Amino acid sequence: MTETITVALPRNGVADDLAEALAARGLRAEVVERDGARELAVSFAADERSRLVDASVAAVEHYLSERMLPFVVERGNGGAIVRPPAD
């Protein structure tokens, strides 16, 4: 089962915009009406494996960038591949 948290909001006017902002960060946010107030039910949009690949690719890209190494990272075979850039 997917883990979900609730985010209580101080104003009703921000729920939809905040849900969109969270979606841009890989989260799924569903607006829930409760006792006249709105809340967000937040979970990860992707499964654990996809999140692991995303985090790993970001970490490898950061490592390569910090060291100015001439490689690129691409997703493949359920994981990632570090390779020289295409000509």
Report residue 82's pLDDT band, with 50, 70 and 90 as the boundaries: very high
Each domain of the chain, given as residue ranges in start order, spans 5-44, 48-83
What's the mean pLDDT in 46-59?
A: 91
Give backbone dihedrals phi and psi of 45, rounded to 5 degrees, phi first: -80, -25
Rounded to whole angstroms, how far apart are CA atoms 30 and 20? 10
Rounded to whole angstroms, how far apart are CA atoms 81 and 72? 8
- Residue 82, strand partner residues: 73
Looking at the predicted structure, is the pLDDT value of residue 10 above 90? no
How big is the chain by its Cα radius of gyration, in Å?
18
What's the mean pLDDT in 32-53?
A: 89
Looking at the predicted structure, is the pLDDT value of residue 2 above 80? no
* More confident site: 48 or 13: 48
